[in-house]
């Protein structure tokens, strides 16, 4: 959603144009993560995190309250998710890597929703077998990120609907069709599965409190495109006897082509976690950069890292060392390094990263059951 005069769009279904994140904070009514809040997170976590330092996690709802509660001894749980409509790309891993850090530092349970029902309703070209297959494939990526099995519950919506349904029916009764239309822009042509969907995405924000009968704060790490869901969820929370979920929101890893976010539906814009090294290198070597038309011009005038997708990849994942990042930025601006060389550096790191991730994905095949939310059935007393 963006205002009439804005030349970008951010909804759960579309991210396009040059996203103005300051404007989004205003439009969505979230809060900026400022220096003071960052320092507080570092103090409680016991270390810094580059995604916060570089303001790539930039916006939140209610985090200050969550940490007030935490300091009083009221711990929180984490909730995040994935809509399995295809392969996972590098951008999806950003909120998950940060979620893992939060889980490690704050020793929290994590509810991870795999929304095969959502993707079936919203993508008419996908069959039920396809969304089920993607659910399994994507679960391997989630596990490969390294979450703690004892504390992580992968919710496969179609398979585990019995765990979600009792809360779902209560949430759904509190959301009118006109609220859903206003928040999500639904039109009459939307199938009724899609219209019920926002109630179900709200459920895991209350699941821990419902199962254990203790009102527990929830923190949702995700990109800012999911915020409309949290507005609706927060709206119903207190009326159902739960806390409003808090969230911590990241910017988008851009596509490798000019404009927009990385999107699996545009294959050359996205490096998929399952890409073979040769293909990943090809995608990186074709990336949009802030370079000049000729090498001579670039040597003389320098290039522009501010608009360069390669530089953004360094910032998000591939150059965690600030000294190294500053150096390459300076070399770029001064024309000392050309785009081809810079892309080669990213391609090598990307391949290294993918090889490790793919090995972890292979190992995950033996361990899917360890993470299954089916375990929660034993905890639920009806």
Judged by the rule CB under 6 A, the positions of this chain that interact with ligand TYM are 12, 79-83, 91-92, 94-95, 113, 115, 118, 201, 220, 222-223, 225-226, 250, 252-253, 261-262
Extended beta strands in the chain, E state: 8-10, 15-17, 31-32, 57-61, 77-82, 110-114, 152-156, 218-223, 246-250
Q: What is the residue-wise DSSP string for 224-257? A: GGGHHHHHHHHHHHGGGT-PPPEEEEEPPPBPSS
Residue for token digits 């996972």? 88
Residue nearest to ligand TYM (CB): 83
- Residue 298 Cβ vs ligand TYM, minimum distance, rounded to whole Å: 28
Please give the Cα distance from 221 to 96 (Å, whole number). 8
- Residue 286 Cβ vs ligand TYM, minimum distance, rounded to whole Å: 18
- Residue 23 Cβ vs ligand TYM, minimum distance, rounded to whole Å: 18
The conformation of residue 261, written as its DSSP 8-state character, comes to B
Residue closer to ligand TYM (CB basis): 12 or 168: 12
Strands 8-10 and 15-17: antiparallel
For residues 261 and 255, the answer to whether their CB atoms sit within 8 Å is: yes
Residue closer to ligand TYM (CB basis): 122 or 335: 122
- Residue 269 Cβ vs ligand TYM, minimum distance, rounded to whole Å: 9
Query: Is the dihedral angle over the CA atoms 266, 271, 276, 278 positive or is it negative?
Result: positive
For residues 7 and 17, the answer to whether their CB atoms sit within 8 Å is: yes
- Residue 331 Cβ vs ligand TYM, minimum distance, rounded to whole Å: 26
Residue closer to ligand TYM (CB basis): 209 or 298: 209
Residue closer to ligand TYM (CB basis): 220 or 351: 220
Residue closer to ligand TYM (CB basis): 337 or 354: 354
């Amino acid at each position: 959603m963006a205002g009439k005069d804005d030349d970008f769009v951010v909804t759960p279904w579309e991210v396009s144009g040059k996203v103005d994140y300051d404007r989004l904070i205003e439009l969505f009514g979230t809060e900026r993560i400022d220096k003071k809040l960052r320092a507080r997170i570092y103090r409680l976590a016991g270390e810094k995190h580059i995604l916060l330092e570089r303001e790539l996690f930039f916006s939140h709802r209610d985090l200050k309250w969550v940490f007030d509660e935490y300091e009083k001894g009221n711990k929180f749980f984490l909730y995040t998710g994935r809509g399995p409509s295809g392969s996972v790309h590098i951008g999806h891993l950003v909120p998950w890597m940060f979620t893992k850090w939060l889980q490690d530092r704050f020793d929290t349970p994590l509810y991870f929703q795999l929304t095969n029902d959502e993707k079936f309703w919203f993508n008419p070209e996908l069959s039920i077998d396809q969304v089920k297959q993607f659910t399994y494939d994507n679960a391997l990526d989630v596990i490969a990120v390294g979450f703690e099995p004892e504390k992580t519950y992968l919710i496969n919506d179609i398979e585990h609907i019995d765990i979600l349904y009792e809360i779902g029916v209560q949430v759904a009764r509190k959301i009118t069709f006109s609220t859903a239309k206003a928040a999500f822009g639904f039109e009459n042509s939307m199938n009724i599965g899609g219209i019920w969907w926002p109630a179900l995405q709200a459920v895991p924000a209350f699941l821990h409190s419902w199962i254990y009968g203790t009102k527990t704060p929830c923190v949702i790490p995700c990109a800012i495109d999911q915020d409309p869901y949290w507005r609706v969820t927060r709206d119903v929370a207190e009326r159902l006897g739960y806390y409003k979920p808090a969230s911590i929101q990241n910017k988008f890893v851009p596509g490798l082509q000019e404009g927009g976010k990385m999107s699996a539906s545009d294959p050359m814009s996205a490096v998929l976690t399952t890409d073979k090294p040769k293909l990943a290198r090809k995608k990186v070597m074709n990336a949009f950069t802030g370079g000049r038309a000729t090498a001579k011009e670039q040597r003389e005038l320098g290039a522009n890292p501010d608009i360069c997708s390669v530089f953004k990849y360094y910032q998000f994942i591939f150059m965690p060392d600030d000294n190294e990042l500053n150096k390459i930025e300076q070399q770029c601006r001064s024309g000392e390094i050309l785009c081809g060389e810079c892309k080669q550096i990213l391609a090598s790191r990307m391949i290294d990263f993918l090889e490790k991730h793919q090995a972890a994905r292979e190992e995950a095949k033996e361990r899917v059951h360890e993470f299954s939310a089916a375990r929660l059935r034993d905890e639920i007393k009806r």
